[in-house]
Amino acid sequence: MPPLHALLALVVVTVWGTNFVIMKFALGDLPPLTLAALRFTVACLPAVFFFKRPAPWGDLAAYGLLIGVGQFGAIYYAMNGHISPGLASLVIQVQAFFTIGLAVALTGERLRPQQIAALVLAAGGLVWLMIHTNAEMTPLGLGLVLLAALGWAGGNIVTRRAGQVNMVAYVVWSSLFAAPALFVLALAVEGAPAMVAGIRGADAATWAAVLWQAVGNSLFGYAAWAWLLARHPAATVSPLALLVPVFGMGASAIVLHEPLSSWKLTAAVLVIGGLALNAIQLRRAASAPAGG
């Protein structure tokens, strides 16, 4: 990969990793489900008028609900006092193993021994986190982020079925389903007074955080990542996503003074180690000769 392409990949994973801190700032003013609804509203408007619909309505609806409600609705709710941004950036990465599990269950993919070992390693990290739940992560927070990871994995399966599509257009059009569903859920869970108070009380920094998550994290991130995947093998680009929790935990420690205790670093080593082992397996599979 040329240096400029590697730099672009580094910028994307930096944006994705540090976004957990930005989420935390936005949650200072906005209720979590309201924040999620606003994020997907900004992601689809006005961009939807500039992209051709990239997939059938059913696929867009499924992706919008799985990612919008399942992933971000759950993770925003978790980060609203139930889990720290650094830990959220780490736990959400187990979506890679949920994706494998769904692929095995729904498409009959074979689970390779190295993937089993990777899953066991990452599961050990999650168990270690469960043992050390405290004010930084409650059992509810952990459960919600695992639910978010499952929603992300479901979205991965939907897009895998779609084949080669414009992912920016896919995110934009699917947000047409995510935003209304999140507004309805926010109305039911948070109530109209809390939603209105949060929106009225949001300052310029909060609105900048909403804009950053919609445009920087979603539209720029997906566009740049898709551009890289179109020019390099997935086995070369995808492992760079292992840096997301590194940047997430690092940014949380620097900006929010989230402690990097020994138990947290041990869990990070186990989870990231499992992800790395899985990435190595994917790279070997991609480089193996056909029929080999």
Write out the DSSP string of 224-287. HHHHHHHHS-HHHHGGGGGHHHHHHHHHHHHHS-----HHHHHHHHHHHHHHHHHHHHHHHHHH
Q: Which pTM was predicted?
A: 0.86
Q: What integer pLDDT is reported at residue 101 of this predicted model?
A: 82
d(CA 64, CA 51) in angstroms, rounded, equals: 16
Q: What integer pLDDT is reported at residue 292 of this predicted model?
A: 41
Query: Is position 292 within any domain?
Result: no
Contacts of 144 (CB under 8 A, 6+ apart): 74, 75, 77, 78, 82, 83
Q: What integer pLDDT is reported at residue 288 of this predicted model?
A: 52
Q: Give me the phi and psi of 51, to 5 degrees please.
A: -125, 140
Residue 116's identity, in one-letter code, is I
Contact between 22 and 228 (Cβ < 8 Å) = no
Query: Is position 196 within any domain?
Result: yes
d(CA 241, CA 14) in angstroms, rounded, equals: 9
Averaged pLDDT, groups of 10, the chain, 292 residues long: 86 90 94 96 93 93 94 95 90 84 79 81 84 80 93 86 82 95 97 95 94 90 79 71 86 90 86 81 60 42
Query: Is position 272 within any domain?
Result: yes
Residue whose entry in the numeric block shows the structure tokens 């992601």: 43
d(CA 19, CA 216) in angstroms, rounded, equals: 9
For helices 3-26 and 221-231, angle between their N-to-C axes, nearest 10 degrees: 160
Number of domains in the chain: 1
Q: What integer pLDDT is reported at residue 121 of this predicted model?
A: 84
Q: What integer pLDDT is reported at residue 234 of this predicted model?
A: 62
- Going by C-alpha positions, the residue among 151, 153, 129 that lies closest to residue 249 is 129
Query: Is position 239 within any domain?
Result: yes
Q: What integer pLDDT is reported at residue 131 of this predicted model?
A: 81
Q: Domain limits at 8? A: 3-287
